[in-house]
Amino acid sequence: MKYKVAIIGCGWIGLGAQLDPLRVPPASHAQAAASYRRVRLAAFADTDVRSLARAKRLYPNVPRFSDIAQMLEEAHPDIVIIATMPESHCALVTLAAKRKVKAILCEKPISHNVREAREAVRHCRKHRVLLFVNHGRRFDPWIRKFWENLRGGYVHDTFLGAVRSAIASYDKGLYHGGTHFIDLLRFFLGEVRWVSAVTNTVFPKDPHDVRVDALLGFDGATAALQYFDSREYCLSEVSFLGEKGRMNLKHESGLDIEVIGTRASDEYSSYRELNYERIKHFGAPRSFLKPVLPHIVDCLEGRDAPVSTGEDALRALEVIHALEQSARKDGKRVVLPRRSSR
């Protein structure tokens, strides 16, 4: 069986990124769908005529719609990919869920508004539609492998041991770039219990997003989240400091996974230090979009469980709101409500 895929939003991540010659393909949702044998690219939808014209130029045989409801009615997609601006995400998720598609992949952030995000998640649950949000590092096989090694009761037997703290650098604001790192920290460390944030005053303000430097508290670990302006250079990295060593997700937060163990110090008796002479590297240049549709198909056919759900995206949004609240109070700790399950 081939699943029919419809893409709503023919902008950069929906379509345009594949025109960047330096990016490893598939670089856009359209290219990912066109290159995966288990799906068929069945429709594009966009309200912008120039975006639809580009879709026609790149994929002339794929039907195009300027009316999204009409597309859902006529194309009958199994999987809908929503790659529009954040303010339209939840309305489109709800629309697709009510049409009872099998699965929805929504770009991050799910919304800027917690209430409407909860409603969108509720509609998907009600209509039994699988909702995935493209916090892309969760889908990556290399990162999932290291995540699996660090989860569970055997954590002390791994290369890193129990994680004590983490450091993450993000760009382009909390909603645009920070959501990736909040989600990635949650993926490895569990639920955020509290936050403390201050407004970043080193770099110019962004009228469309929020920039803070913060601490995030987890059960057993604390993470530092720092803003850095990518117009100077890109610093999208996460470091996990464990009882037995350090793991760095480098080069776009994970294309290069660096593992550093420890050794006895040459200068101080009874001290151990990171062994920078024996750094191990894992991973390679690759596309973070390539494994997404195979994972969705595996979930639809019962071979896997979703790793990046609407509930995960909602929790990341709640953390962002808590960070904003703390920053308005000049760093006052904000405690997030506990959840009985993820």
Judged against a pLDDT cut of 90, whether residue 109 lies above it is answered with yes
Rounded CA separation 315/342 (Å): 9
Is the pLDDT at 124 greater than 90? The verdict is yes
Q: What is the DSSP string of 282-324?
A: E--S--SSTTHHHHHHHHHTTSS--SSBHHHHHHHHHHHHHHH
Average pLDDT over every residue of 71-76: 98
Asked if domains 3-133 and 138-288+317-335 share a fold, the reply is no
Q: Is the pLDDT of residue 182 over 70?
A: yes
The domains of the chain are located at 3-133, 138-288+317-335
- According to the model, what pLDDT value does residue 325 have? 98
Spatial distance between the Cα atoms of 171 and 173, rounded to a whole number of angstroms: 6
pLDDT confidence tier of residue 154, bands split at 50, 70 and 90: low
Domain at 3-133, CATH homologous superfamily: NAD(P)-binding Rossmann-like Domain (3.40.50.720)
Mean pLDDT of 196-212: 95
- Token pair 């670990």: residue: 221
Res. 95: pLDDT tops 80: yes
The percent of residues in the chain predicted with pLDDT above 90, rounded, is 93
Q: What integer pLDDT is reported at residue 342 of this predicted model?
A: 41
Query: For residue 156, what pLDDT band results from cuts at 50, 70 and 90?
Result: low
**pLDDT, average across residues 35-48:** 98
Q: To the nearest 10°, report the CA torsion of 153, 158, 162, 167.
A: -130
Q: Of how many residues is the chain composed?
A: 342
Q: What is the pLDDT of residue 245?
A: 94
Please check whether residue 2 is in contact with residue 39, taking contact to mean a CB–CB distance below 8 angstroms. Answer: yes
pLDDT tens figures, 263-321: 999 999 999 999 999 999 999 999 999 999 999 999 999 999 999 999 999 999 999 99
Domain 138-288+317-335 has CATH 3.40.50.300: no
- Residue 341 binned pLDDT confidence (cut-offs 50, 70, 90): very low
Average pLDDT over residues 240-264: 95
Cβ atoms within 10 A of the Cβ of 172, count?
18
- Asked if pLDDT for residue 64 goes beyond 60, the answer is yes
As a whole number, mean pLDDT of residues 232-256 equals 94
Residue 161: pLDDT band with limits 50, 70, 90? confident
pLDDT at 155: 52
Among 154-158, 295-299, 331-335, the range scoring the smallest mean pLDDT is 154-158
Report the chain's mean pLDDT, rounded to a whole number.
Answer: 95
Average pLDDT of the residues in 61-89? 98
| Residue 159 scores a pLDDT above 90 | no
Radius of gyration for the alpha carbons in the chain, expressed in angstroms and rounded: 21
| Torsion from C-alpha of 11, 12, 18, 19, nearest 10 degrees | 90
In this prediction, residue 152 carries a pLDDT of 60
CA 4, 5, 8, 12 torsion: positive or negative? negative
